[in-house]
Structure 1
């Protein structure tokens, strides 16, 4: 029961986990998508704004500071112009390149340690110094070009332009660390927002899962109680959703099942009562018929030879009828739960020997039963079990039938009761093996069924099909069982296992109806 409850909780926990995982995955996907889009939009806006501001300022500064210089300015004037341009509020470095009056190239930089021509990409230099044809709406030969770079992992904006009329070439070099810092802060903010959204989604999923799974769990508990036989189990229905409809369906099914079970139970009880009443009523006329048949049997030798077979047939069938009535009475006791044990200390070897000797089977049975195995059980019921098993083996398996008695998982004390050893309960094991053809594999699962016969065409036989069933019931009432199997060397083997109660727990048992021991049921059933 506890294991099933744990498995049930694990199952619902797994479903809850899947719901939370789905909610979290959806929330994470949505949050990451929104955060990613927001980041890239803001990144583009920040970089474009910083880039445009710096480039516009650089263009205006080039026009203002370089445009007034001569075509071939002296290096010192070029350096002064670079320094003035670098003093802009946009905080970029400037590199101006031109040829002086002597034809020598002069490169003036605002900070030689930070910005030289080496920091300018070759592709950008080529684009800046290559004039464009004046056609197709293009009114200027030279234009302002820019490119973002990241030497050493640091972001920079590099721009360049050449003055018209073969004037100086100017480059700007602006650090984007501030923008990157702003974007990193934005990324952290979006990451925190995504994590909070994920946590919120998990909490929401937990609440939703509890709302959904609580009725499902109640339904599972109700189904389990219904399976345990509590047919009055019903669910409280509230709402109009699918779960409420499922609860109504469950209640309807449980109500129909309860009605059906009560109807079948009533029919079964009536059937058992009918069999018990019929068996009881048959005993009185059967007693009179038995007395008459006994007289006829004694006088059978003196009767007309033409009548003698009929008389012996009547005697045989009367005895069969008596056995059948007794078996039916025993079956009804088991079904009604009134069969009880009358336990006593018995030597199992003596019991088996007496069973075989009473039925004149000594010549056909090999017995391996050491004396001294004393067990507390019901002698009459053990005799019924042994008589059915041995008689069944002789009838369908053929002699010699070997009966073996032993104990397992305990020590058999000679002359005293047997107790379980090592903390484990001992078992009395009685094996009845024959040398016949064995039991067909399709018959093995049914040998202990009532009225079952292996040969369906043999509808009428000396057996009633109740013997092995009664033997099994007598084993069950002792807390034991009987199994049937085929031996590898041939033949069938029936194994009786009865628990041996510890001596300190011996009980005298309750009295019950104890008639004469049943004769062995000879049909393999």
Structure 2
């Protein structure tokens, strides 16, 4: 999966997550409000329904006790109690009645309107004690007995039990009223409130979706614009509408993008000017360098016949002229990489043959051990591979220690070429900078025989193949190890239109002037 696709998926997940959080927050707020309102409504209605039913039944029972039970004789018979209880429970009262009297001292009798459904065992003991307890009569209490009630359950059904007794020696009465109908009404109310809560929750989710769309659409556009800006599309701007915080954020983004575009344009112009200056300077230097090179070649041929006092100066001119020529060629190569005009000329090659040719062309056969099997084929640019190998092997020979070992092995779809020397290694503080341009390990000796660009050019040539070079010290502390990794097939990286620079790239300072100034001056 490409990086852009991954970023798009992650952006979508973040956007969805923010939307989800908004929906959840809206839903929780709505759920809390709906549950609170429904709970309060249920509790208020429950109390109202139960209180209304309770007051009606108790009031009717009190009146019946006054009208019927109070008219019974002090020592009523069981039939009189039974008849009075049935009369009190008759009509539309909806409750059962139990009357308790005494036919003699300490000999109670009971009359029940419905003995099968209501007996004295159904009356809680605490309620019986409260009903039969005589209260003191005084300023705050005018009667010795009061009406008491209690809600209870029998076999899972709710009931109202109440009781009182006639003042002055009458019977004690109890009522037993079922509250099952009220419970059913309250259950219906609870279901209605639950449905209303669910509808409120769904409605809040829909409102949250609408609100999230309104809020997140500008945020999503801002995220997309930021992504395009990060991809280098510096002309990206947002359409600004409104005066809210999101609109102000969009204005800030546009100002930032405009400022960034201007700064990048200025930097690009300066960079292009610098590249053009280096390229033009390099081209301008090639003509006088060509003449100087021709003269130095003549002087070199005549060096043996020159005056011994003059010969050292002539040798210095020859070496410095060559070094200057290498530097110009390397600068031209660097400018091509910076300008993005370097191209691959891909061919199918035997890697072992290419390494052998590189070593043989520079007369390194006696100093280099090669561990490479024939037949390891790869599609790459042979000239650029030669540049890389010349720099790595040449630097190992010059700044490392013999023997230098070059090994080639294929790993899956990659090609690994390892160059190892047996020198003192590379200081740890220098390792991160060995591929930097013109980097010198010792500031006190900035001048060196190489151009200081060889490893940088080698790395650029590896990158254009889609590969890389790593530098490290060997695990046993005996020398440095450079590992080149290249794809075995770079056809997909080839630019079919660009071959114009194939004959102008630097040749890694040849075999005599390796480009990386290691030793005391650069890396080791």
- Would you say same fold, with TM above 0.5? yes
SS at match of 1:258: helix
Alignment partner, residue 417 of structure 1:
none
**How big is the shift at 1:334?**
2.0
Change (3 A) 1:371 1:50: closer
Mapping for residues 206-245 of structure 1, pairs under 5 Å: 206-245=209-248
Q: Which residue of 2 aligns with 1:386?
A: 389
| Separation of aligned partners in 2, 1:517 and 1:73 | 134
User: In structure 2, which of residues 351, 360, 364 is the aligned counterpart of residue 361 of structure 1?
Assistant: 364
**Structure-2 residue corresponding to 1:256:** 259
Q: 1:345–1:37: structure 2 CA closer, same or farther, 3 Å change rule? A: closer
Aligned pair 1:189/2:176, yes or no?
no
Distance in structure 2 (CA, Å) of the matches to 1:286 and 1:400: 36
Change (3 A) 1:304 1:503: closer
Stretches of structure 2 lacking an aligned partner (at least 5 in a row)? none
Task: Please list the CA deviations of residues 153-184 of structure 1 after superposition, one character each: whole Å capped at 9, or x if unmatched.
Answer: 21111111111112111111111112111111
Shift of 1:6: 1.5
Residue 483 of structure 2 corresponds to which residue in structure 1?
495
Match in the other structure for 1:60: 63
Distance across 2 between alignment mates of 1:499 and 1:272: 30
Whether 1:291 aligns to 2:278 is: no
Moved more, 341-350 or 135-144: 341-350
Structure 1 residues 118 and 435 mapped into 2: Cα distance closer, same or farther (>3 Å)?
same
Alpha-carbon separation, structure 1, partners of 2:490 and 2:237: 44
The whole-number CA distance in structure 2 between the counterparts of 1:343 and 1:65 is: 119
Does the 8 Å CA contact 1:157/1:173 hold for their aligned counterparts? Answer: yes
Aligned partners of 2:164 and 2:173 also within 8 Å = yes
Q: Distance in 1 between matches of 2:378 and 2:187?
A: 86
Aligned match of 1:510 in 488, 494, 499? 499
* SS of corresponding position for 2:59: helix
Paired position in structure 1 for 2:455 = 468
Match 1:430 to one of 407, 411, 417 = 417
| Distance in 2 of aligned mates of 1:367 and 1:125 | 112
Flag the 1:389–1:15 CA change in 2: closer, same or farther, 3 A: same
Q: How far apart, CA to CA, are the structure 1 residues paired with 2:470 and 2:247?
A: 48
Note closer, same or farther for the CA distance 1:127–1:377 as it changes in structure 2 (3 Å cut).
closer
Structure 1 residue 56 displacement after superposition: 1.0
Do 1:341 and 1:511's aligned partners in 2 also have CA atoms closer than 8 Å?
A: no
Q: Is the 8 A contact 1:73 1:101 kept in 2?
A: no
Q: Which residue of 2 aligns with 1:443?
A: 430
2:284, 2:305 → 1: CA distance?
33
The alignment yields a C-alpha RMSD, in angstroms, of: 2.4
Query: For 1:323, which of 313, 323, 326 is the aligned residue?
Result: 326
Tell me the SS of whatever aligns to 2:442.
Answer: coil
SS class of match (1:292): helix
Q: How many residues align?
A: 509
Worse overlay, 360-369 or 131-140 = 360-369
2:113 to 110, 115, 118: 110
Structural mapping, 1:332-371, within 5 Å: 332-371=335-374
Q: Which residue of 1 aligns with 2:180?
A: 177
Describe the superposition over 1:345-385 as per-residue Cα deviations: whole angstroms up to 9, x where unpaired: 54433432332233332332112233444545444322221
Q: Which residue of 1 aligns with 2:277?
A: 274
- Matching of residue 84 in structure 1 with residue 72 in structure 2: no
* 1:216/1:504 CA distance change after superposition, 3 Å: closer
Change in Cα spacing, 1:59 to 1:347, as seen in structure 2 (3 Å) is closer
* Secondary structure of the structure 2 residue equivalent to 1:452: coil
2:131–2:145: 8 Å Cα contact kept in structure 1?
yes
SS for the counterpart of 1:67 is: helix
Change beyond 3 A, Cα 1:347–1:133: closer
Q: Secondary structure at the match of 1:198?
A: helix
- What are the ranges of 5 or more consecutive residues in structure 1 without an aligned counterpart? 410-425
TM-score of the two chains, using structure 2 as the length reference: 0.91
User: What does residue range 28-43 of structure 1 map to in structure 2 within 5 Å?
Assistant: 28-43=31-46
- Tell me, in whole angstroms, the C-alpha distance in 1 between the residues paired with 2:409 and 2:5: 36
TM-score of the superposition, structure 1-length normalised? 0.91
